Amino acid sequence: MTETQSETGTETRFLTSEQIDGLASPADYVAAVRDGYRQVGEGAPAYPRQKFNRTDPDGMFTSYAALLPDTGAMGGYMYSSGFGAGNAWFMTPVFDAESGEPLAVLDGASMNPFKTGAAGAVAVDELARDDATTLAVIGSGSQARGQLHTTATVRDLEDVRVFSPTQANREAFAEEFDEQLSADVHAVDSSTAALDGADIVITATKASEPVFDGDDLEPGTHVTAMGQYQEGSRELDTTTIEQATYVPDLRERAVYDAGAFLAALEDGAITDDHVHAELGEVVAGEAPGRTSGDEITVFDSGGTGIETVAAAYMLYERAREDGIGSTISFAPASEALTGRLP
């Protein structure tokens, strides 16, 4: 329930990105997101993002949502990117799943890499080999950072290779994480070098063309791709998709905006039936994950309301316990919808 409520409205907690920073560890995000996917695997509703684009000024407005009954929360993400401000703005509303009342509004920017990374980490835990210790990261931005922070909580990584086109960026990334992790983290000068002997591959880019050759994947490799969430974006080639046990975050999203999957469909290499299962179905035990040591697996992560609601509610609870944040008031519709002008 909301923190305070009366006949005249509710007090809803507002959290800034700065206040959210440090409220939870990467492992906390992974635990919350895992449970969210478990609920969706058992039938809780979640839908792919909706995207609205315009030109002059160029911009995209995006939204998606989920209802997690066991968590007791529902909500999602709304964000704009580009437009006249040339920036991005993330808003996350969270509602009580029983009363329907607004619990919180979060500035979702700082949690974004961690909640998205947590979905990738859950997939790694379900689909990568138990003995996986060598990781290739392609990309060196904030999303790559979130993926590595969270993946390091589900596997005992020993060797991490990072490649991105700009040498300074990949070297700074490697230096940062070499100090933070027990693994040896180092930059390499090509995606081929990163993949050599890798047990896990993470792609976190804005690529429109495949970032590695699927023939370079060794048997038993797991791939998490999180930068191909619109038609025309494509981190993975048809070879990778065709040979893999393919698991998207949401089955419906795979045929809606998963760029590499759609490209493989267009190439005639696969059919819609190539989707093995949704991640939630694997987490819930409704479908198997990895079934052999030689299997190549792919998790296609496009961003959903599942990880968003799960993470946001966890952060809301932490903030409430610690007295962090401010409050804003919402009037119930029964009071506000008067139909009268002043």
Region 169-196 average pLDDT: 97
For 85-137, how does the pLDDT look when each residue is reduced to its tens digit (9 = 90+)?
989 999 999 999 999 999 999 999 999 999 999 999 999 999 999 999 999 99
Contact 210, 195 (CB under 8 A): no
Q: What is the pTM of this model?
A: 0.94
Percent helix, percent strand, percent coil in the chain, to nearest 5: 35, 25, 40
Angle between helices 142-151 and 26-41 (to 10 degrees): 80
Q: What is the pLDDT of residue 230?
A: 75
For 244-303, how does the pLDDT look when each residue is reduced to its tens digit (9 = 90+)?
999 999 999 999 889 999 999 999 999 999 999 999 999 999 999 999 999 999 999 999
Q: Which residues pair with 327 in a beta bridge?
A: 13
Cβ neighbour number for residue 342 with a 10 Å cutoff: 2
Please give the biggest Cα pair distance in the chain.
Answer: 70
For 30-64, how does the pLDDT look when each residue is reduced to its tens digit (9 = 90+)?
999 999 999 999 999 999 989 899 999 999 999 99
Residue 239: CB partners within 8 Å, gap ≥ 6?
213, 214, 215
d(CA 177, CA 34): 24
Which is it for the CA torsion 240, 245, 159, 196, positive or negative? negative
Cβ neighbour number for residue 61 with a 10 Å cutoff: 16
Q: What is the pLDDT of residue 339?
A: 63
CATH 3.30.1780.10 location in the chain:
4-112+305-336
Report CA 2 to chain centroid distance, whole Å. Answer: 27
State residue 171 phi and psi, 5-degree precision: -70, -40
Q: Grade residue 229 by pLDDT with cuts at 50, 70 and 90.
A: confident
Q: What percent of the chain is modeled with pLDDT above 70?
A: 96
Superfamily of domain 128-300 in CATH is NAD(P)-binding Rossmann-like Domain (3.40.50.720)
Residue 29: CB partners within 8 Å, gap ≥ 6?
111, 114, 115, 117, 118, 150, 311, 314
Above 70 in pLDDT, residue 340? no
CATH 3.40.50.720 location in the chain:
128-300
Residue 12: CB partners within 8 Å, gap ≥ 6?
2, 3, 102, 103, 104, 105, 327, 328, 329, 330
Above 60 in pLDDT, residue 6? no
Q: What percent of the chain is modeled with pLDDT above 90?
A: 87
Query: Measured between alpha carbons, how far is residue 27 from residues 31, 155, 267 in Å?
Result: 6, 12, 39
Q: Mention the CATH class of domain 4-112+305-336.
A: alpha beta
Region 214-227 average pLDDT: 96
Instruction: Supply the mean pLDDT for the chain.
Output: 94
Tell the burial category of 94 from Cβ atoms under 10 Å away from its Cβ (0-12, 13-18, 19+).
Answer: buried
Instruction: Report which of 118, 107, 95 is spatially closest to residue 27, judged by C-alpha positions.
Output: 118
Cβ neighbour number for residue 59 with a 10 Å cutoff: 17
> Amino acid letter at 318?
R
Cα atoms in the 13 Å half-sphere on the side-chain side of 150: 32
Residue 71: CB partners within 8 Å, gap ≥ 6?
35, 36, 39, 97, 309, 310, 313
Measure the CA angle with vertex 18, ends 14 and 24; round to 5°. 85
Q: What is the pLDDT of residue 8?
A: 56
Structural Rg of the chain based on CA atoms: 20
d(CA 292, CA 211): 26
Among the listed ranges 3-12, 133-142, 191-200, which one has the minimum average pLDDT value? 3-12
Strands (E), the chain: 4-6, 9-15, 50-54, 59-68, 73-82, 87-96, 102-107, 134-138, 159-163, 184-187, 200-203, 222-225, 245-248, 297-300, 326-330
Residue 92: CB partners within 8 Å, gap ≥ 6?
75, 76, 77, 78, 104, 105, 106, 107, 108, 111, 308, 312
Q: What is the pLDDT of residue 4?
A: 55
